[in-house]
């Protein structure tokens, strides 16, 4: 890595040149601007027969198979509370930017420890339910409607900056989990440094409008795009490029791979998923967003040095060649000047 001493790994020498020409910086929210280590602040059942522990315990049973930061928080909270439902989970599928889906054996005896006998053995025999854990888009994809009063409660929490994860069982929303994720302590300084460089700033997130606007607002970033899928993030950057902007995108997740490749300069933050590291042009080895303005400053300085040297190399030749042709320059001096100019560059 060219600049690994500063905590940045550059995939090629072109990165610095590109960095010098960046006009806009687009940032992922979760895990990039925020810590990406959310914690559960509450669990809210919205269907009759469902309690807090049951909603959380069932969500955790499915999320155990996911590596998403929300999944980790939900499993942790269930373990600390009423427990993770010990039900058989099959057909697990992650829907990027939306959540997870799986079949859960709800009627089993093991499941009843957490899910309660009423829920677990409803109808007596074991039954398989399709469980969905994720954002509203994930439920909407399956035509699952959410009761209006539940939407209002969730909306109020979102406006306070919380992320809401819905739990759907078969055709019905049974509850939601609210999570909070703090802005990283070094983020405000990083954003201030980018603003000082007069760059356009935007936040894109797969999260809902409430928490996305909240984080952008706290950092004074005017443009915030929420509920954006991984492909959507790529399209946001593509549209900016069509307007002649040169875009740096910084993000952490697997879901950021398409946009990291699309951006003029894709920067993956450390601890990010392997996939995102592969798609990036630069990797922040040290987990610190302030390295982004550092990288841009370095790029500017490097190209200024290159430009300065090119100028002197040309100046040498413009002055030297006519002199040499006229015989006013000793061939040895001319040769030395030529070598020196190449050395400069």
Catalytic residues: 28
Whichever of 74 and 114 has its CB closer to ligand ADP, that residue is 74
Instruction: Say if residue 35 is exposed, middle or buried (CB neighbours under 10 Å; 0-12, 13-18, 19+).
Output: middle
Q: Which residues of 169-195 are buried (b: 16+ CB within 10 A; e: fewer)?
A: beebbbbbbbbbbebbeebeebbebbb
How many whole angstroms separate alpha carbon 153 and alpha carbon 147? 10
Which positions lie near Mg ion, rule CB under 5 A?
A: 28, 30-31, 252-253
How many angstroms separate the most distant Cα atoms in the chain?
106
How many whole angstroms separate alpha carbon 325 and alpha carbon 91? 80
**Closest separation in Å from C-beta 306 to ligand ADP:** 36
Joined tokens for residue 195: 């603003």
Residue 132 contact among Mg ion, ligand ADP, none, beta carbon within 5 to 8 Å by kind: none
- Which among 261, 264, 260, 235 is positioned nearest to 250, based on CA atoms? 260
Whichever of 181 and 252 has its CB closer to Mg ion, that residue is 252
Instruction: Tell me which residue has tokens 């390295």.
Output: 291
Whichever of 7 and 134 has its CB closer to ligand ADP, that residue is 134
- State which H helix or E strand residue 39 sits in: strand 39-45
Which positions lie near ligand ADP, rule CB under 6 A?
A: 28-31, 63, 66, 68, 70-71, 97-100, 133-135, 163, 165, 205-207, 253, 255
Whichever of 39 and 126 has its CB closer to ligand ADP, that residue is 39
Whichever of 112 and 279 has its CB closer to Mg ion, that residue is 279
Q: Are 209 and 234 in contact (CB under 8 A)?
A: no
**Closest separation in Å from C-beta 340 to ligand ADP:** 51
> Whose CB is nearest to ligand ADP?
206
Residue 34 contact among ligand ADP, Mg ion, none, beta carbon within 5 to 8 Å by kind: none
Instruction: Tell me which residue has tokens 């409803």.
Output: 122
Kind of pairing between the strands at 39-45 and 172-180: antiparallel
How many whole angstroms separate alpha carbon 163 and alpha carbon 176? 10
């Amino acid at each position: 890595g060219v600049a690994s001493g500063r905590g940045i790994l550059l995939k090629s020498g072109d990165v610095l040149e590109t960095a010098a020409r960046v006009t806009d910086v687009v940032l992922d929210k979760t895990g990039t601007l925020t810590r990406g280590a959310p914690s559960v602040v509450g669990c809210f059942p919205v269907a009759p027969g469902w309690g807090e522990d049951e909603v959380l315990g069932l969500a955790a049973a499915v999320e155990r198979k996911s590596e998403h930061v929300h999944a980790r928080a939900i499993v942790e909270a269930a373990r600390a509370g009423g427990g993770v439902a010990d039900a058989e989970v099959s057909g697990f599928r992650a829907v990027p930017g939306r959540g997870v889906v799986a079949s859960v054996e709800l009627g089993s005896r093991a499941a009843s420890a957490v899910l309660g006998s009423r829920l677990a053995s409803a109808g007596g025999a074991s039954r398989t339910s399709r469980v969905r854990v994720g954002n509203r888009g994930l439920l909407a994809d399956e035509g699952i409607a959410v009761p209006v009063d539940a939407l209002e409660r969730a909306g109020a929490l979102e406006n306070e900056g919380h992320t809401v994860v819905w739990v759907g069982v078969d055709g019905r929303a049974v509850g939601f989990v609210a999570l909070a994720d703090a802005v990283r302590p070094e983020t405000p300084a990083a954003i201030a440094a980018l603003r000082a460089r007069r760059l356009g700033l935007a936040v894109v997130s797969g999260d809902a409008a409430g928490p996305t606007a909240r984080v952008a607002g706290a950092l004074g970033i005017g443009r915030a795009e929420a509920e954006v899928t991984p492909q959507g993030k790529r399209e946001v950057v593509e549209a900016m490029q069509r307007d002649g902007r040169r875009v740096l995108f910084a993000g952490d997740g697997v879901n950021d791979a398409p946009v990291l490749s699309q951006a003029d300069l894709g920067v993956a933050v450390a601890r990010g998923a392997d996939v995102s590291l592969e798609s990036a042009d630069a990797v922040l080895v040290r987990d610190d967003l302030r390295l982004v303005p550092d990288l841009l400053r370095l790029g500017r300085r490097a190209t200024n040095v290159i430009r300065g040297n090119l100028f002197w190399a040309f100046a040498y030749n413009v002055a030297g060649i006519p002199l040499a042709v006229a015989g006013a320059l000793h061939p040895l001096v001319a040769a030395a000047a030529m070598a020196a100019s190449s050395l400069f560059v």
